[in-house]
C-alpha cells in the first residue's frame, strides 16, 4: 500500500492535467463567438476527452458491466488452429481492427455536416464516440468473443429469435447495397472530368495486379517489400497523372460521370469474381499503408500548421433545415450525416467477424474495441477541421448540387451569394487552377472538399503552394483507393450473403466454387448498387443530397440492431442495472434515426420528404410542366422514380429495425419477469494459460508476470 501511494499521486496529477487541458479547450470552443479560433482547440478537446473516457469509462464498462475475466480462455486460445483462430498480440489486433473499420465514412460525413457549422459536428463526434460508438464496438466485440466469434446476424437469431434474425439479415444486405452505391458515388464525383485523378486511380489496377503476381510467383509472403514497391508505383502514378493531364492522352481519361459508373460496375464485377490474390489482397495492403500514412501526416500537419477555422460555429442552416448541401434541420440530420465518425453500425459486423477470433485476453477488448473507435473518431475530427478551414464561399461552391450552381464560375458565384456567402468568379477559377483541375464547382460528395483542405494543410508543411496540386490529387487518390477496396470487398461479402441465402432454396447456388452461381450472384449485387449509383449521378436534384441521408440512416439503424442485441444480452444475463450503458445510446440512436426516417418518408416539405417530393414532381409532370432543377420531362420522370424508390427504402429500413427491436423487447420482458437469468449461448468457461498485458503498455505487475512466464524478454515487449 505504502509503495503504491506515490505512484497513484502521480497518476492523479497526470489525469487532473489531462482533464484541465480538455476542459480549457472545450471552454475556448464554447465561448468564442464571432471570432475565428484555431483548429488546435478542437484537437485538444478531442484528445483530452478521449483520454478521460478511455481511462475511466471504458474501464468501468469492461470491469463492472461486462465483467471481462482474464482467467477465462478466449476463443483464440481455446480454438487456436493457426488459421482464423489464433491468439495475436493486442497491438497487432488493434492495427488490423482499425484498418478494417476506418474508411471513407468518417472523412466524408463530417465534411458534409460542416454545413451546420463546426460546433454541432465536433460535439457529436466526441460525445457520440465516447458514449455510443466506442461502446457499441467494444461491447459487440465482447459478446461475439464470448460466443466463439459469431456474427451479428447469428447472435441476433440465437439470442433474440428467428424473426429478428431474418429482419437483421435483410437489413444488413440492403444497407450494404446503399453503402456501396454512396461510396462509389463519392469516387465518381471526385473523378468526373478529372484526367489527373482518373489516370492515377486507373493505374492502381495494373499496380495491384503486378503486386499480386509478384507475391504469388516471385516472392511469396513478402508483403512489406511488395507494399513498398506498390506505394512507390502509386506515387509515380500520381505524378504521372499530372503529366497525362497536360498531354494528348488527357481526353482519353476525361470521363463523364455516366461512363465512370459503367467502368466501376464492370470493375466491381471482375473484382468480385477474380481470385483474391490478384486484385483484392494487394489493393488491401496498399490502402492500409496509405490509410495509416495519410492519417498520420494529416495529424502532424494540423498540429504544426494550427490553421484557423473559417467556418461559423453554428450556421443558420442548422436551425432552418434549408441547407443546400443536404436538407433537414440539426436534429436529426447532423447525427445521420456524421454517421461513421461517432457511431457506425457497420463496425459491429467487423467486431463480430475476424477480430474476436484473435484476442488473447478478454480485457484487451478495451484497447482494441474502444481504442480503435476513438482513433476513428479522431480521423473524423480532422476531416471536420479540413472542411472548416476552407473559405465558406468555396465550401458551398463545391458542395451545392450542380442543378443549383450551374456550370460556370459566374453562375456558381451568384448562387452561393443567394445563400448569403461570397466568392468571386475569379476566386473560384483561381482555386481550381491551384489544384490544376478544370473546375471545382459542384464537386459534391465530400472527397474533393476534403482534398482541398488536406492540400492546404500539407502544402503548408511540405513543398509550399507549388505542391498544392500534387497533394490534392494525393488526397483524392487516397480516398478513392480505399473506397474502391471497400467496394471490392463489399461486393464479395454481399455476394456471399446472397449465395448463402439462396443456397437454402436451391443448393447449387450456395456452393462457392460453382461458377454460374458465383457470376450470377456477383452480377446481382453489382447491378443493385450500380442502379443506385446511376440514379445518383443522373438525379437532377443531386445524388449525394438525395442518397447520403439514406446511407446515414441505414448505418445508424444497423447500430440500433447491434445496441439492441447488446442491451438484450445484458438484461438476459441478469445485469438489468447496467443495461443503461447500451440502453441510453440505443434510445438516442433510435430516436434520431426513426425521426430521420419518418421525416424522409412523411415530411411535407418536398426538400426533405421523399414522397412529398414525388408528389410535387408527379403533379407537375401530369400537367406536362418541367420544374427546376430538372431540365426535361425525362428528368422529371427520373426524379419521380428516384423519390419513390428512396422513400420505399427508407421506410423498409425503419420497419426492419422496428421488427428487431420489438422482438428484442419481448425477450427482455421475459428475462425481467423470469426469476433466474435466461440461458445464453456463451461458450463455457475454460481456464486461460496465456500471459499477456491488457493495455497498450504493460503495467509493472504485468511485466513481472510476463517475466515469470518467460515471455517478457522477447523483442515484441520492448518497444
Partner 1 sequence: MVRFTRWYLRELTGVNEYDRYLDRHRADPHGPLLSRREYERLRIDRQDADPGSRCC
Residues at the site binding partner 1, with contacts judged by CB under 8 A: 82-84, 88-89, 91-92, 95-96, 100-105, 179, 183, 215-216, 220-224, 227, 275-277, 280-281, 284-285, 339-340, 344, 346-347, 349-350, 353-354, 482, 485-486, 489-490, 492-493, 496, 512, 555, 715-716, 718-719
Q: Minimum CB separation from partner 1 for residue 151, in Å?
A: 10
| Sign of the dihedral defined by the CA atoms of residues 184, 188, 189, 195, in that order | positive
Give the span between the Cα atoms of 350 and 97, in whole angstroms: 8
Closer Cβ to partner 1, 89 or 702, answer by number? 89
Burial of 348 (0-12, 13-18, 19+ CB in 10 A): buried
Q: Minimum CB separation from partner 1 for residue 348, in Å?
A: 10
Q: Minimum CB separation from partner 1 for residue 30, in Å?
A: 30
Backbone angles phi, psi at 531, to 5 degrees: -60, -50
Q: Minimum CB separation from partner 1 for residue 85, in Å?
A: 13
Burial of 587 (0-12, 13-18, 19+ CB in 10 A): middle
Q: Minimum CB separation from partner 1 for residue 337, in Å?
A: 13
Q: In 339-446, which ranges are continuous DSSP H helix?
A: 346-351, 365, 372-388, 392-399, 402-405, 409-418, 425-434
Closer Cβ to partner 1, 192 or 518, answer by number? 518
Q: Minimum CB separation from partner 1 for residue 241, in Å?
A: 25
Q: Are the C-beta atoms of 114 and 38 separated by less than 8 Å?
A: no
Closer Cβ to partner 1, 175 or 668, answer by number? 175
Q: Are the C-beta atoms of 260 and 191 separated by less than 8 Å?
A: yes
Closer Cβ to partner 1, 128 or 606, answer by number? 128
Q: Minimum CB separation from partner 1 for residue 593, in Å?
A: 16
- The cell 476527452 sits on which residue? 49
Closer Cβ to partner 1, 120 or 149, answer by number? 149
Give the span between the Cα atoms of 45 and 127, in whole angstroms: 11
Closer Cβ to partner 1, 88 or 643, answer by number? 88
Residue positions counted in the chain: 719
- 3-state secondary structure (DSSP) of residue 293: helix
Q: Minimum CB separation from partner 1 for residue 285, in Å?
A: 7
Q: Are the C-beta atoms of 51 and 22 separated by less than 8 Å?
A: yes
- The cell 516471385 sits on which residue? 218
- What does each C-alpha distance from 509 to 27, 272, 407, 513, 520 come to in angstroms? 59, 16, 48, 9, 9
Give the span between the Cα atoms of 83 and 76, in whole angstroms: 10
Closer Cβ to partner 1, 74 or 499, answer by number? 499
Burial of 466 (0-12, 13-18, 19+ CB in 10 A): exposed
Q: Are the C-beta atoms of 231 and 290 separated by less than 8 Å?
A: yes
Closer Cβ to partner 1, 457 or 484, answer by number? 484
Cis peptide before 58 (omega within 30 of 0): no
Q: Are the C-beta atoms of 147 and 156 separated by less than 8 Å?
A: no
Closer Cβ to partner 1, 229 or 587, answer by number? 229
H/E stretch holding 348: helix 346-351
Q: Minimum CB separation from partner 1 for residue 156, in Å?
A: 16
Q: Minimum CB separation from partner 1 for residue 326, in Å?
A: 17
Closer Cβ to partner 1, 89 or 705, answer by number? 89
Closer Cβ to partner 1, 248 or 513, answer by number? 513
Cell readout for 142 is: 465482447
Cell readout for 531 is: 442502379
Q: Minimum CB separation from partner 1 for residue 648, in Å?
A: 23
Q: Minimum CB separation from partner 1 for residue 42, in Å?
A: 23
Closer Cβ to partner 1, 327 or 556, answer by number? 556
Closer Cβ to partner 1, 104 or 415, answer by number? 104
Name 38's bridge partners. 308
What would the 3-class secondary structure string for 608-641 be?
CCHHHHHHHHHHHHHCCCCCCCCCCHHHHHHHHH
Q: How is 493-547 classified by DSSP, letter by letter?
A: HHHHHHHHHHHHHSHHHH-TT-HHHHHHHHHHHHHHHHHHHHHHHH-TT-HHHHH
- 3-state secondary structure (DSSP) of residue 445: coil
Give the span between the Cα atoms of 506 and 502, in whole angstroms: 6
Q: Minimum CB separation from partner 1 for residue 221, in Å?
A: 4
Closer Cβ to partner 1, 85 or 253, answer by number? 85
Closer Cβ to partner 1, 234 or 349, answer by number? 349
- What does each C-alpha distance from 501 to 498, 507, 511 come to in angstroms? 5, 10, 11
Q: Are the C-beta atoms of 181 and 226 separated by less than 8 Å?
A: no
Q: Minimum CB separation from partner 1 for residue 447, in Å?
A: 13
Closer Cβ to partner 1, 230 or 332, answer by number? 230
Q: Minimum CB separation from partner 1 for residue 225, in Å?
A: 9
Q: Minimum CB separation from partner 1 for residue 219, in Å?
A: 9
Give the span between the Cα atoms of 56 and 172, in whole angstroms: 33
Q: What dihedral do alpha carbons 475, 479, 484, 489 form, nearest 10°?
A: 140
Q: Are the C-beta atoms of 571 and 671 separated by less than 8 Å?
A: yes
Closer Cβ to partner 1, 92 or 266, answer by number? 92
Give the span between the Cα atoms of 387 and 457, in whole angstroms: 11
**How distant is the alpha carbon of residue 389 from its chain centre?**
22
Q: Minimum CB separation from partner 1 for residue 270, in Å?
A: 14
Amino acid at each position: 500500500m505504502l509503495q503504491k501511494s506515490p505512484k497513484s499521486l502521480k497518476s492523479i496529477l497526470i489525469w487532473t492535467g489531462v482533464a484541465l487541458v480538455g476542459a480549457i479547450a472545450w471552454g475556448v470552443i464554447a465561448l468564442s463567438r464571432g471570432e475565428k479560433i484555431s483548429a488546435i482547440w478542437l484537437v485538444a478537446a478531442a484528445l483530452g476527452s478521449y483520454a478521460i473516457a478511455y481511462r475511466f469509462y471504458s474501464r468501468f464498462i469492461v470491469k463492472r458491466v461486462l465483467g471481462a475475466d482474464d482467467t477465462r480462455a478466449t476463443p483464440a486460445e481455446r480454438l487456436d488452429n493457426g488459421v482464423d483462430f489464433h491468439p495475436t498480440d493486442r497491438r497487432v489486433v488493434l492495427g488490423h481492427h482499425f484498418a478494417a473499420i476506418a474508411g471513407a465514412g468518417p472523412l466524408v460525413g463530417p465534411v458534409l455536416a460542416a454545413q451546420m457549422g463546426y460546433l454541432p459536428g465536433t460535439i457529436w463526434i466526441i460525445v457520440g464516440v465516447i458514449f455510443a460508438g466506442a461502446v457499441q464496438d467494444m461491447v459487440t466485440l465482447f459478446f461475439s468473443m464470448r460466443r466463439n466469434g459469431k456474427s451479428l446476424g447469428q447472435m441476433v437469431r440465437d439470442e433474440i429469435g428467428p424473426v429478428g434474425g431474418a429482419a437483421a439479415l435483410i437489413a444488413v444486405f440492403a444497407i450494404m447495397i446503399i453503402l456501396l452505391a454512396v461510396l462509389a458515388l463519392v469516387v465518381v464525383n471526385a473523378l468526373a472530368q478529372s484526367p489527373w485523378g482518373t489516370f492515377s486511380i486507373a493505374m492502381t489496377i495494373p499496380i495491384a495486379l503486378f503486386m499480386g503476381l509478384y507475391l504469388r510467383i516471385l516472392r511469396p509472403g513478402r508483403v512489406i517489400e511488395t507494399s513498398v514497391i506498390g506505394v512507390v508505383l502509386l506515387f509515380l502514378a500520381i505524378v504521372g497523372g499530372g503529366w497525362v493531364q497536360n498531354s494528348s492522352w488527357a481526353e482519353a481519361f476525361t470521363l463523364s460521370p455516366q461512363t465512370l459508373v459503367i467502368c466501376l460496375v464492370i470493375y466491381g464485377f471482375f473484382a468480385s469474381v477474380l481470385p483474391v490474390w490478384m486484385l483484392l489482397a494487394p489493393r488491401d495492403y496498399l490502402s492500409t499503408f496509405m490509410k495509416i500514412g495519410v492519417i498520420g501526416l494529416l495529424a502532424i500537419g494540423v498540429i504544426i500548421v494550427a490553421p484557423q477555422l473559417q467556418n461559423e460555429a453554428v450556421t443558420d442552416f442548422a436551425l432552418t433545415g434549408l441547407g443546400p448541401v443536404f436538407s433537414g434541420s440539426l436534429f436529426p440530420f447532423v447525427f445521420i450525416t456524421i454517421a461513421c465518425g461517432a457511431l457506425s453500425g457497420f463496425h459491429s459486423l467487423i467486431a463480430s467477424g475476424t477480430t474476436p477470433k484473435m484476442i488473447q485476453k478478454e480485457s484487451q477488448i478495451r484497447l482494441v474495441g474502444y481504442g480503435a473507435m476513438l482513433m476513428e473518431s479522431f480521423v473524423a475530427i480532422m476531416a471536420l477541421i479540413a472542411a472548416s478551414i476552407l473559405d465558406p464561399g468555396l465550401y458551398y461552391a463545391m458542395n451545392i448540387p450542380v442543378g443549383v450552381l450551374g456550370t460556370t464560375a459566374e453562375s456558381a458565384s451568384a448562387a452561393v451569394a443567394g445563400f448569403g456567402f461570397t466568392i468571386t468568379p475569379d476566386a473560384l477559377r483561381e482555386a481550381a487552377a491551384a489544384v490544376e483541375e478544370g473546375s471545382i464547382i459542384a464537386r459534391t460528395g465530400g472527397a474533393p472538399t476534403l482534398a482541398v483542405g488536406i492540400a492546404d494543410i500539407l502544402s503548408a508543411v511540405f513543398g509550399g503552394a507549388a505542391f498544392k496540386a500534387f497533394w490534392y490529387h494525393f488526397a483524392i487518390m487516397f480516398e478513392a483507393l480505399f473506397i474502391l477496396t471497400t467496394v471490392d470487398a463489399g461486393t464479395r461479402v454481399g455476394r456471399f450473403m446472397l449465395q448463402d441465402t439462396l443456397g437454402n432454396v436451391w443448393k447449387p447456388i450456395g456452393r462457392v466454387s460453382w461458377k454460374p452461381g458465383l457470376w450470377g450472384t456477383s452480377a446481382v449485387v453489382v447491378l443493385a448498387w450500380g442502379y443506385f449509383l446511376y440514379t445518383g449521378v443522373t438525379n437532377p436534384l443531386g445524388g449525394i443530397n438525395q442518397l447520403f441521408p439514406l446511407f446515414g440512416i441505414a448505418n445508424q439503424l444497423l447500430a440500433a440492431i447491434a445496441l439492441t442485441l447488446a442491451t438484450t444480452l445484458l438484461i438476459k444475463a441478469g445485469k438489468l442495472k447496467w443495461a443503461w450503458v447500451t440502453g441510453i445510446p440505443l434510445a438516442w440512436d433510435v430516436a434520431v434515426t426513426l425521426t430521420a426516417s419518418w421525416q424522409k418518408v412523411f415530411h411535407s416539405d418536398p426538400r426533405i420528404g421523399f414522397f412529398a417530393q414525388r408528389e410535387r414532381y408527379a403533379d407537375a409532370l401530369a400537367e406536362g410542366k418541367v420544374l427546376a432543377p430538372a431540365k426535361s420531362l425525362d428528368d422529371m420522370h427520373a426524379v419521380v422514380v428516384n423519390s419513390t424508390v428512396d422513400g420505399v427504402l427508407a421506410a423498409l429500413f425503419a420497419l426492419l429495425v422496428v421488427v428487431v427491436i420489438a422482438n428484442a423487447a419481448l425477450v427482455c420482458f421475459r428475462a425481467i419477469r423470469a426469476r433466474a437469468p435466461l440461458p445464453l449461448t456463451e461458450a463455457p468457461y475454460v481456464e486461460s494459460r496465456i500471459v499477456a498485458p491488457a493495455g497498450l503498455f504493460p503495467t509493472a505487475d504485468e511485466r513481472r508476470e510476463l517475466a515469470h512466464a518467460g515471455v517478457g524478454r522477447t523483442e515484441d515487449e520492448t518497444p
